[in-house]
Amino acid sequence: MTDTAIALLAVAALFALVLSGVHVAFALLITSFAAMALLNTFDIALSLLAQSAYHAIFDYVFTVVPLFVLMGAFMTQSRAAQELYTFLNLVFRKVRGGLGIATVFSNAIFAAVTGASVASAAVFSKIALPQMYRYGYSKRLALGCVAGSSVLGMLIPPSLLMIIYGILTQVSIGRLFVAGIVPGLVLAGIYSLGIMALGAVRPQLVGHRLAEGAVAPSEAPAAVGARASLPADDADGEDGTDPDAAPATAEGSALPTVLSGQSASGPRADASMLSSLLGSLPVVALVVLVIGGIWGGLFTPTEASAVGAAGAFLIGKLMGMTWRGAGVAFKETAITTGAIMILLISAQMYSRMLAASGLVGQVGRFLGGLEVSPTLIVLIFIVILIVMGAVLDSASIILLAVPVMFPSVVLLDIDPLWFGIVLIVAVELGLLTPPFGMIPFTMSAVIGREVVVEDIFVGSFAFFLMMLVLIALMIVFPALVTWLPSLM
């Protein structure tokens, strides 16, 4: 059996194990170790495993993983998201679809301190959905707003996917962070225009009745652990609840009402813009400090992660994080970091097996010999990533796909920085794709039995299409990705 055939069998066995329910890290280790033993000897495979474990986590840059995860965990345990959402509700209160737009931009800012799409989806399922239901939003559109905007968590830095991609490819993590800023803001803008367009074409989707009042998100009983109550929704997206009844919280009590008189898309009229602004400023300041520090050369990504974690702890304590919540944040960080560490070790072993077999080189030569444009190759890669995203989590896709795709990207003279951002958007597209897109299932778990996951997939479809628009824009205008890093 040739070396290439062994590698192909290993890849086929890898996908078979993953689809049968074996964790990706263990599937990678098992197949890579077995293939290396066949390519060489058992002793060499064992030695390579030890080397992979050492080199995968020895790099100083790996420090950014636990520190950025800790920064996001601290912010999730505080009321930072509620304060952001309250302020942005006030900013967009006179815009039709304003609550949806506020959800998008709240997610965009919150993404800059969490770096995780799933965390954003869980948090804003509790905060944004009750408000949108209160103002008569279509259930599916409300669910789609939260699901679609949560993908900003991996596109706007700091992003765990960018860190993993940078570690695997040796592309500067700092430049990746800066490269994600403009596409992230463009996607938030596309989402907002899409919501406004839906509101103009079908006004009933974004609040077809005047609400008698609303509760500020920071006062809502949908705190950590609570679940949003959902209205019934028909095929036209109409709200099926009693127009005069407030939705119930997880405890069954109605959301309290305040002064009336606001528009169908606005928050409570008597909320203080100044106090809301002051409440959201610490989060914005942390974002500017971390990302601006990297862009301006004040911090390396590793130093920025330490500054961000320390700042998030102080802000978290000022914004309601308890000592117990801090303990939960440390525990979540340890679990997440441990999982990523195992994945990186297994991915290192996988990459070395592919290189030793010569499979990666043959794939690169095959693609390079095709008389097609590099853009078509990238489009093929995007389709593969979206399909993988329908059945795998985002980190696993990066670890499986990058070792195979990246050598071809280099051979075809495609900018690795640009490709990294396009790859991340494509991976995030997969998180919204049936049958196993992770974000809809995360939201379903948070909301509970009041919603069927199919409604989330249907509501997310418009946002899926808008993400395709972003990919098209990045292909036609690569400067959307490369311009800001070029100023560093």
Quick one: which of 218, 219, 227, 225 has its CA closest to 250? 227
- Asked if residue 150 lies in contact with residue 118, where contact means CB atoms within 8 angstroms, the answer is yes
- Asked if residue 417 lies in contact with residue 178, where contact means CB atoms within 8 angstroms, the answer is no
> Cα 407 to chain center, whole Å?
25
State the CB neighbour count (10 A cutoff) for residue 317: 16
CA-to-CA distance for 461 and 38, rounded, in angstroms?
45
Q: How far is CA 300 from CA 13, 78, 174, in A?
A: 40, 27, 7
CA angle 50, 55, 60 (to 5 degrees): 145
| Neighbouring residues of 487: CB distance < 8 A, sequence distance ≥ 6 | 295
Write down the pLDDT at residue 159. Answer: 82
Write down the pLDDT at residue 216. Answer: 43
The pTM assigned to this predicted structure is 0.77
Q: DSSP states of 142-172 as a string?
A: HHHHHHHHHTHHHHSSS-HHHHHHHHHH---
Write down the pLDDT at residue 424. Answer: 92
- Asked if residue 217 lies in contact with residue 106, where contact means CB atoms within 8 angstroms, the answer is no
Quick one: which of 107, 185, 193, 97 has its CA closest to 146? 107
Domain spans, the chain = 1-58+344-357, 59-321+358-486
| 488 residues of the chain, pLDDT tens digit each | 788 888 889 888 888 888 787 888 888 888 888 888 888 888 888 887 787 777 766 766 677 888 888 888 888 888 888 888 888 888 887 888 888 898 898 888 887 777 677 777 877 888 888 888 888 888 888 898 988 888 887 888 888 888 889 888 888 888 998 999 999 999 999 999 999 998 888 888 876 443 434 444 444 433 333 444 444 444 344 333 333 333 333 333 333 333 233 344 444 444 466 777 777 788 888 888 888 888 888 888 888 888 989 998 998 888 888 999 899 989 988 888 888 888 888 877 888 888 788 877 777 777 777 778 889 999 999 998 888 877 777 888 888 888 888 988 888 889 999 999 999 999 888 888 877 777 888 788 777 777 788 888 888 899 999 999 999 999 999 999 999 998 87
CA angle 116, 321, 250 (to 5 degrees): 75
* Residue 137, strand partner residues: 206
CA-to-CA distance for 177 and 295, rounded, in angstroms?
9
Q: DSSP states of 100-117 as a string?
A: HHHHHHHHHHHHHHH--H
Q: How far is CA 153 from CA 4, 247, 250, in A?
A: 38, 28, 26
Omega before residue 440 within 30° of 0, cis: no
Output the CA torsion sign for 64, 65, 71, 72: positive
